[in-house]
């Protein structure tokens, strides 16, 4: 086990290169199961969740070259893949369940461990299973596994998701590409990561059409093409570094992004007094004169993302006045609050609402990370705090942030990774 040591109260200054999106890479990797042709993925983030997904595909029989130096993955499925996704590879990663749709569609059966990942609520997969059953699948849960089969092919049908779900949209979209006939999906997620998946699927020969704002029509095909695809930037990582610049009253140039995909986040942070200059392919965040209070609610895209909620809460502790957050996506996503309180933050929780009292000076403390986004909010707090902060269980952080201590160190932060037995 490793931990991070941060000595805070230092202004960040410099340039940060944003990595490819973890949340775009994972579903695209599972979609490669559909094709026997060579696939090249570029701008792949070197994070633990991607490594886990690569190991899962290898375990099922995919031939994979992972060039970490050049952030490139080459995949070739020469022979029939094994249709088992075991617990030991899925226990840390929610996205592993996305192999269910592609395996079931292509091979007619799948045995997939119920997923793990962050402990931020129940995150049920009933939407996935309900949709696959409507397409003709027989599904049962046995000994912690989803056991699914279909007689011949999944059959295209009309599916309206009862609520917007990124994972369900991705899983059923991928499955529909190999199903017989036409599938019409409604009330779909429209996150940039979902749209990146659609772009990739079209490249390999899938027939997909956007209908209205949240509709997808898919005609199943059996023959797929080789393709090369560049993964979009990680908008959550970008948002995190914008907040890092603001909370340290620093100045950062944030590159390798497309600002239009984080329009909501930029607009809201500007309302908080953060000076953000938008350019083509990058933004510049400059020292805010003061940080203003704000009220926000997390919502599906294009609303404010739940994956940035913990980070912006940390920023709110330094704002003038009282800010409010309503968490609408996950019911247990305030697990970072108790750790922020240990640093001096004044935060009240009532159900899915948080009241954050600003202008609270944070002090360094020894902390415990509970999930991916909570762990990075503690890093942000450590950067702004007086004294030394120690963050334990940083394996959560490594699931979604590429070399965060290196990127921050280059911009003037004192942050280093050490073994647990070091101080």
Strand partners, 363: 386
Those residues with Cβ within 8 angstroms of residue 213's Cβ, 6 or more apart along the chain or in another chain:
190
User: Tell me, what DSSP letter sits at residue 96?
Assistant: G
**Residue 116 in contact with residue 91, Cβ under 8 Å?**
yes
Out of 1.10.150.120, 3.40.50.620, 3.40.50.10490, 3.65.10.10, select the CATH number for domain 22-230: 3.65.10.10
What are the boundaries of each domain within the chain?
2-19+233-419, 22-230
pTM: 0.96
Tokens of 256: 């390798």
Predicted pLDDT of residue 118: 39
Predicted pLDDT of residue 419: 85
Predicted pLDDT of residue 121: 40
Predicted pLDDT of residue 119: 41
Q: State the catalytic residue, choosing from 118, 177, 206, 411.
A: 118
Q: List the pLDDT tens digit at each of the 423 positions of the chain.
A: 799 999 999 999 999 999 999 999 999 999 999 999 999 999 999 999 999 999 999 999 999 999 999 999 999 999 999 999 999 988 878 788 999 999 999 999 999 998 754 343 444 688 999 999 999 999 999 988 999 999 999 999 999 999 999 999 999 999 999 999 999 999 999 999 999 999 999 999 999 999 999 999 999 999 999 999 999 999 999 999 999 999 999 999 999 999 999 999 999 999 999 999 999 999 999 989 899 999 999 999 999 999 999 999 999 999 999 999 999 987 767 889 999 999 999 999 999 999 999 998 999 999 998 887 789 999 999 999 999 999 999 998 999 999 999 999 999 999 999 987 665
Predicted pLDDT of residue 422: 66
206 carries an active-site annotation: no
| Same fold across 2-19+233-419 and 22-230 | yes
In whole angstroms, what is the distance from residue 159 CA to residue 364 CA?
Answer: 50
CATH number of 2-19+233-419: 3.65.10.10
């Amino acid at each position: 086990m490793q931990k991070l040591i941060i000595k805070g109260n230092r202004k960040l200054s410099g340039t940060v290169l944003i990595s490819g999106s973890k949340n775009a890479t994972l579903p695209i990797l599972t979609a490669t199961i559909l094709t026997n042709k060579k696939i090249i993925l570029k701008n792949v983030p070197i994070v633990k969740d991607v490594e886990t997904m690569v190991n899962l595909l290898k375990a099922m029989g995919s031939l994979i070259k992972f060039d970490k130096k050049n952030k490139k993955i080459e995949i070739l499925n020469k022979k029939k893949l094994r249709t088992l996704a075991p617990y030991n590879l899925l226990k840390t990663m929610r996205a592993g369940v996305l192999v269910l749709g592609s395996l079931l569609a292509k091979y007619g059966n799948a045995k997939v461990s119920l997923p793990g990942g962050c402990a931020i609520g129940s995150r049920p997969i009933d939407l996935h299973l309900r949709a696959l059953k409507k397409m003709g699948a027989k599904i049962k849960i046995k000994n912690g596994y989803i056991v699914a089969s279909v007689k011949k092919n999944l059959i295209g049908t009309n599916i309206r998701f009862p609520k917007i779900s990124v994972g369900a949209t991705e899983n059923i979209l991928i499955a529909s590409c190999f199903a017989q006939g036409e599938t019409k999906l409604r009330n779909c997620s429209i996150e940039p990561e979902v749209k990146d998946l659609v772009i990739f699927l079209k490249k390999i020969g899938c027939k997909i059409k956007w209908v209205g704002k949240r509709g997808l029509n898919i005609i199943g095909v059996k023959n797929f093409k080789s393709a090369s695809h560049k993964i979009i930037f990680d908008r959550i990582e970008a948002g995190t570094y914008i907040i890092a610049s603001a909370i340290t009253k620093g100045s950062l140039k944030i590159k390798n992004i497309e600002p239009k995909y984080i329009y909501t986040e930029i607009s809201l942070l500007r309302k908080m007094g953060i000076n953000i200059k938008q350019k083509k392919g990058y933004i510049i965040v400059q020292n805010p004169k003061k940080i203003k209070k704000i009220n926000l609610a997390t919502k599906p895209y294009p609303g404010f993302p739940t994956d940035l909620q913990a980070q912006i809460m940390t920023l709110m502790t330094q704002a003038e006045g009282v800010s409010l957050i309503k968490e609408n996506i996950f019911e247990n996503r305030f697990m970072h609050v108790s750790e922020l309180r240990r640093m001096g933050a004044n935060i009240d929780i009532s159900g899915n609402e948080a009241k954050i009292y600003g202008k609270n000076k944070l002090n360094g403390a020894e902390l415990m990370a509970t999930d991916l986004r909570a762990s990075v909010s503690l890093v942000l707090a450590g950067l702004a705090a007086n004294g030394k902060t120690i963050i334990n269980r940083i394996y959560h952080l490594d699931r979604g942030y590429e070399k965060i201590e290196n990127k921050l160190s280059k911009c003037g932060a004192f942050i280093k990774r050490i073994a647990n037995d070091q101080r």
